[in-house]
């Protein structure tokens, strides 16, 4: 059993906690302002209501935890958004992280955000400058989830810092491709509501012949389906390739924007399949509302990436 403890901020539905508890790390507390996400977190981790922290602006303690962890809001830095950076109130929420580091002085931190943060120069400069002012030594790296088990192409930016200087031997994990594909996470039995109507299947324009569709090991668009009957143009992807990055953006029906070839027909991936693409266990209790489950999972972290970084950090947290 590890002796490392952590405090989970911007906790969402608990992706960081899932990854770190696999290592035996102990969660000393969590903070999430969205009530519906807190409820999902509470159901899965059996936390009491009185243990919840709602607003990070009011948080001024970490219960003596060794490590502060969290994925700070990404909408202000995402390539899919307006990239307003710190001119957006959501972007400014990051500033509570260096505040807590300066106030509580945990041994280390682990933060996550979208890769697009690096492409918003003024925001990246502010993030780096704010962290430097805390006195912590830190480094960052872009890691791809598909190198850590799940067949999802998901590049995210991770920051790791230590109060007493970065150990000379610390390195970010590299991971390795294991050859998994979307088909490996697909459920055997799926409710009819996830399948595309026959008119969509008939209207799909396939771009690759079956021979090539079955030999894909990347994100492979094999066609597109009609805009008129299904709320907008959407890609059709091979189940023998990787999933694109799961994002909270959905179509008019609150469903993912692409279809997967499933035998002779097409369908959406289910929320459970999305959870598997984020390396959430099948025992994890998802929201009953599909649209909510897709949003929460799209906002979350890939738990195996967090676990792998935790392995490297733990070597220096004795």
- Residues serving a catalytic function are 74
- Gap between the Cα atoms of 267 and 188, Å rounded: 13
Q: Where are the alpha helices (DSSP H) in the chain?
A: 15-21, 35-45, 89-92, 96-104, 121-132, 198-203, 210-213, 271-277, 290-299, 303-314
Q: Long-range contacts: 257-260, Cβ < 8 Å, 24+?
A: 257/232, 258/234, 259/196, 259/200, 259/204, 259/225, 259/234, 259/235, 260/182, 260/186, 260/236
Distances (CA, A) of 39 to 10, 50, 122, 141, 297: 14, 12, 35, 32, 14
């Amino acid at each position: 059993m590890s002796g490392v403890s952590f405090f989970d901020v911007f906790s969402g539905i608990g992706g960081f906690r899932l990854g770190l508890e696999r290592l035996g790390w102990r969660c000393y507390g969590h903070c999430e302002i969205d009530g519906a996400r807190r409820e999902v977190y509470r159901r899965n981790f059996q936390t009491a209501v009185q243990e919840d922290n709602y607003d990070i602006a009011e948080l001024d303690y970490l219960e003596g935890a060794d490590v502060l962890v969290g994925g700070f809001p990404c909408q202000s830095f995402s390539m899919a958004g307006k990239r307003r950076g710190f001119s957006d109130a959501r972007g400014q929420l990051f500033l509570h992280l260096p505040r807590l580091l300066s106030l509580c002085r945990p041994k280390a931190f682990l933060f996550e955000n979208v890769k697009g943060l690096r492409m918003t120069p003024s925001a990246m400069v502010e993030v780096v400058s704010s962290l430097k002012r805390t006195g912590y030594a830190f480094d960052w790296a872009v890691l791809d989830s598909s190198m850590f088990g799940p067949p999802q192409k998901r590049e995210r930016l991770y920051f790791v810092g230590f109060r007493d200087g970065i150990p000379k031997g610390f390195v970010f994990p590299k991971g390795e491709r294991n050859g998994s594909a979307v088909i490996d996470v697909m459920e055997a039995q799926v409710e009819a509501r996830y399948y595309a109507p026959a008119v969509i299947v008939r209207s799909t324009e396939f771009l690759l012949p079956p021979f090539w569709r079955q030999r894909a090991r990347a994100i492979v668009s094999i066609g597109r389906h009609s805009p008129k009957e299904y709320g907008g143009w959407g890609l059709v992807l091979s189940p023998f390739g990787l999933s694109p990055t799961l994002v909270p953006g959905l179509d008019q029906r609150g469903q993912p924007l692409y279809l997967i070839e499933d035998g002779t027909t097409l369908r959406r991936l289910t929320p459970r399949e999305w959870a598997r693409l984020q390396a959430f266990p099948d025992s994890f209790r998802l929201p009953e509302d599909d649209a909510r489950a897709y949003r929460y999972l799209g906002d979350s972290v890939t738990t195996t990436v967090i676990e792998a970084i935790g392995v490297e950090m733990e070597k220096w947290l004795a």
